[in-house]
Copies of this chain bind each other. A is one copy, B any other.
Amino acid sequence: MAQNVYDDPAFFAEYSKLPRQVHGLDGAPEWPAIRALLPDLAGKDVVDLGCGFGWASRWMRAQGAASVLGLDLSENMIDRARASTTDSAIEYRIADLDTLVLPAGAFDLAYSALTFHYVENFGRLVRMVRAALRPGGNLVFTIEHPIYMAATHPNWIVDSDGRMTWPVNGYFREGERTTTWFVEGVRKYHRTLDTTLNTLLDAGFRLQRVVEFVPMAEQIRQMPQLAEELERPMMLLVSASL
């Protein structure tokens, strides 16, 4: 079962202050890259896996989605998401992606932002999503990049020229990683890029796009700390279809 750190009050208080929680999708620098991967949403039935406050669920509905089911492990998140809409075509529900059961052939798009790296059994989830999608359906998701996740001490170091350098070790030791993010003991699951992509291929998905998030010059101008994301791949965005 996935860890529910989002219902830890200390974590949630800090997490809620993140730009992407306060400002929604426009607070996420990878959002333009995600948008470019999304299919036309008009008339689509969508499931949002790890919907958080529901920003993307509501945006997809506003783009014409027929229905959006937003799922999240966190009661805090789902409570906030529910309070943010009266649209009966959007449903928010508590669910653990490690044990989730979805109805077969019920969706045209499965979307997930920065959630799958909390899931222990990725293969089970991918096969479940595949069965839940209709023919021609799409899966679009983002995760922390495997290179960002791998190391025992995932913190910037400097090389002999003083250049910011990202450490990689234990790359092929897949499984649990425990990090400090607002609180200690935040549990994630590292998988190689190989495992991530081949799990999709094995489940019958076709890869449409594999994107490594890189900030645009204008984004770095507005938020100079994003410049460090030129040094390492921090997020992986994948678009796959049936």
Contacts and interface: CB of A to CB of B under 8 A. Distances in A.
A160 interface: yes
Given A168-B166, A201-B208, A208-B201, A233 B192 contact: yes
Which bracket fits the contact residues of A?
Answer: 35 or more
Nearest to A215: B172
Interface string A128-142: 000000000000000
A170 B231 CA distance: 4
A205 to B, nearest CB: 10
Interface string A191-221: 0111001100100001111111010000000
Nearest to A197: B210
A169 B173 contact: no
Interface string A154-191: 00010111011111111111000000000000000000
A214 B153 contact: no
A151 interface: yes
B165 A151 contact: yes
Interface of A: 147, 151-153, 157, 159-161, 163-173, 192-194, 197-198, 201, 206-212, 214, 229-233
14 contacts: A151-B159, A152-B161, A163-B170, A165-B167, A166-B171, A169-B232, A171-B233, A192-B214, A193-B193, A193-B212, A194-B211, A194-B233, A198-B209, A198-B211
